[in-house]
Amino acid sequence: MKIGIVCYPTFGGSGVVATELGKALAKEGHQVHFVTYRQPTRLDFFSENLFYHEVDIKSYPLFEHAPYELALASKMVNVVKYEGLDLLHVHYAIPHASAAYMAKQILKSHGIEIPVVTTLHGTDITLVGKDPSYEPVVTFSINESDGVTAVSEDLKKATYEHFDIKNGIEVIPNFIDLDRFKKQKKEHFKRAICPNDEKLLVHTSNFRKVKRVEDVIQVFYEVRKVVPSKLLLVGDGPERDKMERLCRELGTCEDTRFLGKLEAVEEVLSVADLFLIPSEKESFGLAALEAMACEVPVLSSNAGGIPELNIDGVTGFACDVGDIKGLTEKALHILSDKNLPGFKKRALARAKEFDVSNILPRYEAFYKKTIEKTLSLSK
Ligand code: GMT
């Protein structure tokens, strides 16, 4: 198949999933064309089946905001037409699904029928998408997609709750390439951070409000009173300054490190004892899956789709949003020498269920079904 993938090229989860999906499809022999405004973060190597088409955003003194969606739709039209694509797969509804709709209509006027699959990732539904300033366009473009997938059952449910959707939505969960995470433990790294064999707690995110990084710091503050431990915070974003301030106020700075953005997150995760993801909303929690793939138990909130991944009491615990007391108790339970090995083992076993080899065939089957349906309807 020749597949066009449209995504955000940044560190965000949807961009990572889209890039890893494209790479896995290319390995299977499909030709994959990425269409986005910058080279995706994890696509900096040569493969005979991978192509990258940069969206050219022209600015003009009249535009306060250059019309990205138009440039994207134009690029999609050209790539579909000149590369002979079989399907367009857009990740994150805003603005990719509506740009795909526009491209589809233009291509129709050229006598080309292109099936469009939209994958809903999370905040495109639960936060940004349902805002009245976007909702009509999001509803329309989801309904006009030829196939729609969501990354969890909870996100599927939220989509039907927030929007008037006539389409069926297929749940295809996020995945991981376990081989990438099977790296050797960097023991020297662990010794440098935890010289006295302290327990290592890790959080990775884009430091937005929805991630509730303050809960991570509060839980660490409580845990550290009982168990000698260190905290690594990976990532960057709007809340970081505030979080650094909170550490200073609580006096936890000497045991906390803010690492900023990090590409090889598996190197940190491979030496962690506990991963924290206390988000207010989280459709799936790819960061938690990455931790589990490194044999790290997960302490999460029970928001959104996280409990579909992190099984309460088995691979970690899932507490109510903002329940610092509960999170602290569960953290101490997991970190005890008696319990930790079991949680680690079960976290890895669960991650294996989400290996790319299990999930990729589901996308391939969905593409096939969508192409057949679209082409038969257009006859
Ligand atoms: O909203 C974000 O944090 C970014 C967003 C994205 O599109 O990059 O992440 C969402 O998609 C990820 C990949 O499917 C999921 O693992 C995240 O749970 C989801 N984030 C939220 O729902 C908050």
Do 108 and 232 belong together in one domain?
no
Q: Is 205 in the pocket of ligand 1 (CB under 6 A)?
A: no
Q: Which residue range forms the structural domain that includes residue 247?
A: 178-352
Rounded to 10 deg, the angle between the 93-109 and 68-83 helix axes is 50
Atom 5 (ligand 1) nearest CA:
13
- Say if residue 11's pLDDT is above 70: no
Q: Is 14 in the pocket of ligand 1 (CB under 6 A)?
A: yes
CATH number at 260 reads 3.40.50.2000
Asked if the bond preceding 67 is cis, omega within 30° of 0, the reply is no
Strand order across the beta sheet in which 316-319 lies: 256-260, 229-234, 199-204, 274-277, 298-301, 316-319
Q: 106 C-alpha vs ligand 1 centroid, how far in Å?
A: 30
Q: 297 C-alpha vs ligand 1 centroid, how far in Å?
A: 20
Do 208 and 237 belong together in one domain?
yes
Phi/psi for 354 (5° steps) reads -105, 20
CB 294 within 8 A of CB 273: no
- The pLDDT of residue 114 is 97
Sequence-separated (6 or more) residues with CB below 8 Å from residue 241: none
CA distance 331 to 164: 40
CA distance 286 to 276: 12
Q: Determine the atom of ligand 1 nearest the C-alpha atom of 92.
A: 7
Could you report the per-residue pLDDT of 129-146, keeping only the tens digit for each? 888 999 999 999 999 999
Q: 378 C-alpha vs ligand 1 centroid, how far in Å?
A: 34
Q: Determine the atom of ligand 1 nearest the C-alpha atom of 306.
A: 18
Neighbours of 216 (CB within 10 A): 25
CB 229 within 8 A of CB 335: yes
- The pLDDT of residue 183 is 62
Choose which residue among 8, 121, 279, 290 to substitute to test ligand 1 binding: the one with the highest number of ligand atoms within 8 A of its C-beta.
121
CB 266 within 8 A of CB 290: yes
Do 189 and 122 belong together in one domain?
no
Could you report the per-residue pLDDT of 52-105, keeping only the tens digit for each? 999 999 898 999 999 999 999 999 999 999 999 999 999 999 999 999 999 999
Do 170 and 305 belong together in one domain?
no
Could you report the per-residue pLDDT of 92-116, keeping only the tens digit for each? 999 999 999 999 999 999 999 999 9
Atom 23 (ligand 1) nearest CA:
282
The number of folded domains in the chain is 2
Do 198 and 327 belong together in one domain?
yes
Do 216 and 81 belong together in one domain?
no
- The pLDDT of residue 316 is 98
Do 230 and 277 belong together in one domain?
yes
Six token digits for residue 71:
């440039």
CA distance 345 to 367: 34
CA distance 114 to 101: 10
Neighbours of 2 (CB within 10 A): 16
Confidence of residue 190 (pLDDT cuts 50, 70, 90): confident
Q: Give SS3 for 34.
A: strand
Do 117 and 192 belong together in one domain?
no
Do 65 and 115 belong together in one domain?
yes
Six token digits for residue 368:
């096939």
What does the mean pLDDT of the chain come to? 95
Phi/psi for 327 (5° steps) reads -60, -40
- Say if residue 160's pLDDT is above 80: yes
Sequence-separated (6 or more) residues with CB below 8 Å from residue 338: none
Q: Determine the atom of ligand 1 nearest the C-alpha atom of 211.
A: 23
- Residue 26: alpha-carbon gap to chain centroid: 20
Do 184 and 260 belong together in one domain?
yes
Between 286 and 130, name the one with better pLDDT. 286
As a whole number of Å, the end-to-end CA separation of the chain is: 21
Do 36 and 130 belong together in one domain?
yes
Q: Is 92 in the pocket of ligand 1 (CB under 6 A)?
A: yes
Q: Is 90 in the pocket of ligand 1 (CB under 6 A)?
A: no
Q: 20 C-alpha vs ligand 1 centroid, how far in Å?
A: 15
Do 116 and 248 belong together in one domain?
no
Could you report the per-residue pLDDT of 339-362, keeping only the tens digit for each? 999 999 999 999 999 999 999 999
